[in-house]
Amino acid sequence: MSSLTPTLYLPIEEVNREFDSKLLIALELLGDGITVIIGRNPLLVANFAFMPPGAILFKGMNTVPALVMKSAVANGHVALTTDEEALGIAEIHEMVRNMDPSTASSCQIFFAQGRRHAEAMALRIPEATDRIQVVGNARLDLLREPFRSAYLEEAREHERIHGDYVMINTNFGAINSQWGDADAFKKVLERIGWLDSSKASDREYYECRLRTEKANITLIRGVLERLAARFPDTTFIIRPHPAERDVPWRQAYGDRANVHVTAEGNHISWLLGSKLLLHTGCTTGLEAEVLGVPCLTLLPPDHGSLSSADLLSNQANERAVGVDQAVAVSAHILNGRVVRDPTEREARLLALRDHLEALNGRFAYQRIANEIRTLLIPALENHPTFDWLPTDREAFVKTREHSERRLGKTSRSGYLWNKAEIDRTVLSRRIESLSQAIGSTLDPIVSEVADGVFRLEVPPG
């Protein structure tokens, strides 16, 4: 494919979840002479037709990215994808909900995070089985040394400000959705292909999900109320899921002196500074287990009739059933009375072996970068003097307003735009921190080509 240029495009949809892991992939490839364009997903999507053809690393496989992949390929690009929505899912029948079979015709490489994820991909897109690479998930690389240490300074700052604190991560994307009420969220799931309301089994599953979230939110509120009263000198940090509205949490607990609601900052640093994480099925619980941070997943008494078992963190973490048990176990941990058995944690990590590759040994970002390198090195040879510039400078979209004129404006445009907020200062700081962690001496040139979209390159020699 001689028209392919040595360019890697890294769209960012959610800064706090995917930015650092994608920067690691970028840093691995910049030394090869590959140009990296990283930044806001809406702007990159709007500009596919006006940028040199390169490799685009998507983060999902549902109906929406499937359509975007087709557009990218039609404009000369090569589509690659991870499947970030699968990270917190335990069961294959749930993984396949997020996979649109049409990606088989557009995507050149599918990056699976583990054996079971690869099985789900092969089940959903059997004609693309030979394009599935089991590499792990680069988000989990950040939980291992040397990257874990890069978050310690920020973790100490959280401790300085809040003292001893407990993290409470919520995960109520249906009943407290950024998109509106439960019916509005249901329509979103239909639009992305996760749900087919014409099927009785899908309607039944969605109702079960609603029941699960309602039981979980009652549970976590009950635990929070009792622990906050019992430990007045401990701060309880509520971090709503990115898909949730934080206003209801602020309204409910804004007058509590030792309860604080925030979505700011990287969750890894918050985890490292915490005494305990409590959740009801959040992917952050899985990350806490890998980090070795004390963590409890809270289950309602009737969890056997709910959808709790579909979540990987509910299988990986220590479990507490009901308010009384959750409060009792949490209190023992906070009082320092629990001697945690390392063999129990080893057993829980062993249970993740089929789900997650690269928890040790070679990092996932290196494995992903190697596949991209194999694809783009011939492009570098075909374009030895390549200099990245928009192919149509007049049509190239640089602002939100221009993007919305091109792609259309919706009631959630602001939400989609703001969660990918990146500025040059933050980018430079993260590059420096991650470069130090991996011992890289590269000093990439950074230029902003659009609002929150950056060009990274290392000059020859």
Mean pLDDT of the chain: 92
Q: Taking the domains of the chain in order of start, what are their residue ranges? A: 7-142+360-457, 151-350
Q: Looking at residue 245, what is its pLDDT?
A: 92
Q: Looking at residue 338, what is its pLDDT?
A: 64
Q: Is the pLDDT of residue 127 over 70?
A: yes
State the amino acid at position 313 in one-letter form: S
Give the pLDDT mean for 295-320. Answer: 91
Q: Looking at residue 414, what is its pLDDT?
A: 77
Half-sphere exposure of 160 (CA within 13 A, CB side): 6
Q: Is the pLDDT of residue 59 over 60?
A: yes
Residue 157 CA to residue 269 CA, distance in Å, equals 9
Give the pLDDT mean for 154-167. Answer: 96
319 DSSP β-pair partners: 297
pLDDT tens per residue across span 71-80: 999 999 999 9
Biggest alpha carbon distance in the chain?
Answer: 67
- Residue 143 banded pLDDT, cuts 50, 70, 90: very high
pLDDT tens per residue across span 386-398: 999 999 999 999 9
Q: Is the pTM of this model over 0.85?
A: yes
Residue 1 CA to residue 415 CA, distance in Å, equals 37
Fold entry, domain 7-142+360-457: Rossmann fold (3.40.50)
**Cα dist from 66 to 96, 112, 138, 191, 334, whole Å:** 14, 17, 22, 12, 46
pLDDT tens per residue across span 365-421: 999 999 999 999 999 999 989 999 999 999 999 998 888 887 777 666 777 778 888
pLDDT winner (highest mean) among 129-133, 252-256, 340-344: 129-133
Q: Which CATH number fits domain 151-350: 2.60.40.720, 3.30.700.30, 3.40.50.1370, 3.40.50.2000?
A: 3.40.50.2000
In the chain, the percentage of residues whose pLDDT exceeds 70 is 97
pLDDT tens per residue across span 203-250: 998 999 999 999 999 999 999 999 999 999 999 999 999 889 999 999
Fold identical between 7-142+360-457 and 151-350?
A: yes
Sign for the CA dihedral angle at 160, 166, 172, 176 comes to: negative
* pLDDT higher at 441 or 79: 79
- Residue 31 banded pLDDT, cuts 50, 70, 90: very high
Q: Is the pLDDT of residue 345 over 60?
A: yes
